[in-house]
Amino acid sequence: MVVNRGEIAIRVFRAATELGLRTVAIYAEEDRYSRHRFKADEAYLLRKEKGPVGAYLDIEGIVRLAKDKGVSLIHPGYGFLSENAAFARACAEAGLNFIGPSPEILSSMGDKVAARALAKKINIPTLPGTDEPVSDPKEAMTIAREIGFPLIIKAAHGGGGRGMRVVEKEGDLAAKLAEAQSEAEKAFGNPEVFLERFVGRAKHIEVQVLGDRHGHVIHLHERDCSVQRRHQKVIEIAPSVDLDEAIRTELCAASVRIGREIGYNNAGTVEFLYDLDRNEWYFIEMNPRIQVEHTVTEVITGIDLVRSQILIAQGHQLHGSEIAIPAQEAIPRNGFAVQCRITTEDPERNFSPDYGKILNYRSAAGFGIRLDAGAGDAGAVITPYYDSMLVKLTASGPTFDIALQRTHRALREFRIRGVKTNIPFLENVVQHPTFRGGMATTRLIDTEPSLFKFKPRR
C-alpha cells in the first residue's frame, strides 16, 4: 500500500509490480478521479469526514484499512506521513512493514536541531547557529548578534521551505521570528525554530544514501539542488557540474558517516550548503525518505531507488543478488541528468497556483527523456487541495550541455491547455548562461529579473 497520491504513488506501484507484488492505492473523495487510483490493483476510499488532506494524514484509519485488506508493506512516498515517527511506530505495532527507517531515526532526523548536534558530535561541520530551539525575541536577539547578520530562521521540525525567513538586519528580527514561528506551527504543528548564519553565495548539494538492515550504508553520488525559489527546489542536477572533486569526496564520505552513526536503513538524503566565498561546506539536515528529485540519481547510476527501498524493507542486503548494487567504488556515475518540476503555477502572477480541467495535454518524448506524472492527461482536473506539481521532466546526456539541450527541447514540446504552467519560466532558467555554466547559486532566481521575461509560445 502506498500512503500517498499522485506521481510518487504511481512510481512506487510500478516498482512493486515489477517485483510481483499486488499494489493498493488509497484516495480521498476529492481524489476520486486521480490517476494513481487507477494504477493500482486495488484502491480504497479514505474517510470522507477527514477532508482532502486530512484523509492522507489519518494514521488510525489508514493502519486499520491496511490491516483489514491484508496489506504487508507500507510505502509512505514523500510529504504527508513520510517522516512521521508516530505513523512508522503505528505500522510496526500493527505488524505492517514500513518502507523507511525506524521510528527512532525519523524522530531524531525530523528534529533539525538534534540532527545538527549529531553532526557536530562526529565532527561534521555545521553553520554557526543555535544548539536549541529559540522562542523568546530577546534571547533570539542576543544569539543573533553572536552569529551576525544576515542570518536565517528555520523551522526545527519540517522542510519544503516553510517556516524559513532570511533576516538582513537587527530591526527585522522580531517580526521575522514571529512569522517563521507562525508558519512552522501551521505547517508542522510545532512552532519551534532555530537560527543559522545565512550564506549569501552558496550551492545546495545533497548526497543520496542507501542503507540496509544488515549495517551496510553507501552513497549514490551527489545532486546539485541550488536552483530554488522561496527555499523550494525547482531544478536538480546529478552529478554537480563544477564541484571540486575533493569537496565532492568529502561530502559523500560525510554522508556515509552520518548514515553509519545512526544505523540508517532505506533511502535517505544528506543535505549540505557549500559556501563559495569561504570554500567551506556545512551539514544542513538529513531527509529520511525518498525525494522528489531521486530520478536524476537513478538515471546516472542505473539503480532503481524505489525497488531498492522495497527490497531493503524485505530484509535483502544491498550487495546481494536481489538488490545487486555493486561495491561503493564501482557504483556508476554516467553522464548528467537534469530534473525540472513542471507545476500548475502561473509565473506571470507570482507563481500563484492555477486550477481547472486540462483541456489539452501533449507531453515530451524521445531519446534521454523520462517523465513521471500524476495528472498528465487531457480531462484531468487540477484541484486547489494538493501540491501543484504536474509532471517531473528528467533529461539526460553524456555531457551537461547535451542534457540541457534535451531539457530545453522537451520543455518546448509540451503543450498544455486549460491551466497555466511554469514551463516558460523553466525554459528561461535552463537557457540562462549562469545556469548553463554550472554556476547557479541558491540566489539565482532572486537576483535575475530576466528569468521573468517571457516570450509568447505558439
Residues classed as catalytic: 233
Q: For residues 213 and 154, what is the distance between their CA atoms, to the nearest angstrom?
A: 32
Q: What length is written for the chain? A: 458
| Sequence-separated (6 or more) residues with CB below 8 Å from residue 438 | 240, 241, 242, 400
Write the burial class of residue 257 (CB in 10 Å: 0-12 exposed, 13-18 middle, 19+ buried): middle
- Sheet architecture: strand order including 280-287: 280-287, 266-275, 202-211, 217-229, 232-238, 336-343, 389-397, 369-373
Contact 181, 135 (CB under 8 A): yes
Q: How far is the CA of 417 from the CAs of 118, 167, 363, in angstroms?
A: 49, 40, 12
Query: Hey, CA dihedral for 61, 77, 287, 272, is it positive or negative?
Result: negative
Dihedrals phi, psi of 451, to nearest 5 degrees = -65, -15
Q: For residues 450 and 227, what is the distance between their CA atoms, to the nearest angstrom?
A: 15
Distance of CA 76 to the CA centre of its chain: 13
Q: For residues 167 and 8, what is the distance between their CA atoms, to the nearest angstrom?
A: 35
Question: Which residues face 45 on adjacent strands?
Answer: 27
Q: For residues 355 and 422, what is the distance between their CA atoms, to the nearest angstrom?
A: 13
Q: How many CA atoms lie within 13 A of 192 on its CB side?
A: 13
Quick one: DSSP state of residue 55?
G
E-strand spans in 14-128?
24-27, 42-45, 73-74, 97-98
Write the burial class of residue 427 (CB in 10 Å: 0-12 exposed, 13-18 middle, 19+ buried): buried
At 226 the three-state DSSP class reads strand
Neighbours of 350 (CB within 10 A): 8
Residue matched to cell numbers 533511502: 267
**Preceding omega of 76 cis (within 30 degrees of 0):** no
Number of H helices, E strands in the chain: 15, 21
